Amino acid sequence: MNRQAQAVVLLLLGGAVLRASVTDLYLRYVKEGLRPFLIAAGLLLVVAAIMTLWYELRPALTDDPAAVPADEPDTGHGGHGGHGHHEPRVGWLLILPVLGLLLVAPPALGSYAASQAGTALSTPARSDYPPLPAGDPVSVSVLDYAARALFDRGTSIGDRRVRLTGFITTGPDRQPMLARMVLSCCAADGRPVKLGLSGDVPTGLPDDSWVEVVGRYSERLGRDPVNDAEIPYLDVESWRQVPVPKRQYD
């Protein structure tokens, strides 16, 4: 891969990263906090590509080798830039993430990943749970509900009505469960938080459909066969299908 091709690949990679970070595409793969760094890295890649092309093509613009500025005596860098014999061939692989971001743009982790991994709540994350905010039903995240239901045995929920948003995944007993992926850094470390559903269970929906459920705390507990962790339940009163949210991870 010669230097000009490297410059093109850098330009594509920088452009792909920039495009993913100025749109919401990056939220499928990483945490929101990474955005400024992604934008900065994308810009730097573009600048590196432009500087490479600048140094490669500038001497070529002047046909006469003597016209090369005197402060750059090493003319060899420009004129025959097409022959990058020792340049890294492994750089070709950088086209793959470019394709992944520009052409394929794979979806966020969903029910397949959730069924492969054990539920993330296995050690108590906090010891005290503040009272739920006002509202009826009150909106809480799947992660918050699951933590309160498991480690607080529902005390801080009481018999309040809660509203949760997550996607449908089929549990080990073929019953639909409500799940949400939790990221700490990027989708490679994404872990699911799973909730069992009782009462008015959303049926007839394919996996990965996003639903908003309203319900109350249930004392029932299940077990995740993957890591033998406890899975809390929610007693569903009503549910509706919702569009895929912008932030798919908790």
Partner 1 sequence: MSTGTDHPAPAGEPREQSAGEPPEHPAGGVDLAGRPEPSGQAGRRRWLGDRIGSVEVLAALLILLIIFRDPLAGALDDPRVQTWTTVFVSIMVQAVPFLVFGVLLSAVIAVFVPRSFWARALPRHPALAVPAASAAGVVLPGCECGAVPIAGSLIRRGVTPAAALAFLLAAPAVNPIVLVATAVAFPNNPEMVLARGVASLVVAMVMGWLWLRLGRTEWIRMPRRPELDDTSRGRAFWGAVRHDVTHAGGFLVLGAMAAACINVLVPERWLQTLADNAWLSILALALLAVLLSLCSEADAFVAASLSQFSLTSRLVFLVVGPMVDLKLIAMQAGVFGRRFAFRFAPTTFAVAVLVAVGAGAVLL
Q: How far is the CB of 48 from partner 1 (least distance, A)?
A: 5
Nearest residue (CB) to partner 1, 38 versus 138 = 38
246 touching partner 1, by CB under 8 A: no
What is the rounded (10 degree) CA torsion for 70, 73, 75, 78? -70
Quote the distance between the C-alpha of residue 196 and its chain's center: 24
| C-beta of residue 18 within 8 angstroms of C-beta of residue 39 | yes
Nearest residue (CB) to partner 1, 123 versus 136 = 123
Where in 178-217 is the site for partner 1 (CB under 8 A)?
A: 184-189, 191
Nearest residue (CB) to partner 1, 106 versus 158 = 106
* Total binding residues toward partner 1, as defined by CB under 8 A: 89
In sequence order, the 6+-apart residues with CB closer than 8 A to the CB of 42 are 14, 15, 16, 17, 18, 21
Q: Which amino acid is at 83?
A: H
Q: How far is the CB of 156 from partner 1 (least distance, A)?
A: 18
For partner 1, the binding residue among 22, 24, 62, 126 (CB under 8 A) is 126
Nearest residue (CB) to partner 1, 28 versus 163 = 28
Where in 96-125 is the site for partner 1 (CB under 8 A)?
A: 96-97, 99-101, 103-104, 106-113, 116-118, 120, 122-125
Token reading at 23: 């749109």
94 touching partner 1, by CB under 8 A: yes
226 touching partner 1, by CB under 8 A: yes
| C-beta of residue 232 within 8 angstroms of C-beta of residue 195 | yes
Where in 26-65 is the site for partner 1 (CB under 8 A)?
A: 26, 28-30, 34, 37-38, 40-42, 44-45, 48-49, 51-52, 55
The DSSP code sequence of 43-90 is HHHHHHHHHHHHHHHHHHHSSSGGGS-TT---GGGTTTTT--TTS-GG
Q: How far is the CB of 240 from partner 1 (least distance, A)?
A: 25
- CA distance linking residue 14 with residue 12, whole number of Å: 5
Which of 77-85, 143-151, 212-220, 236-244 is the region at the interface with partner 1 (rule: CB under 8 A)?
77-85
137 touching partner 1, by CB under 8 A: no
- CA distance linking residue 163 with residue 108, whole number of Å: 22
247 touching partner 1, by CB under 8 A: no
Where in 146-175 is the site for partner 1 (CB under 8 A)?
A: none
90 touching partner 1, by CB under 8 A: yes
Phi-psi region of 129 (alpha: psi -120 to 50; beta: other; left: phi over 0): beta
- CA distance linking residue 53 with residue 35, whole number of Å: 27
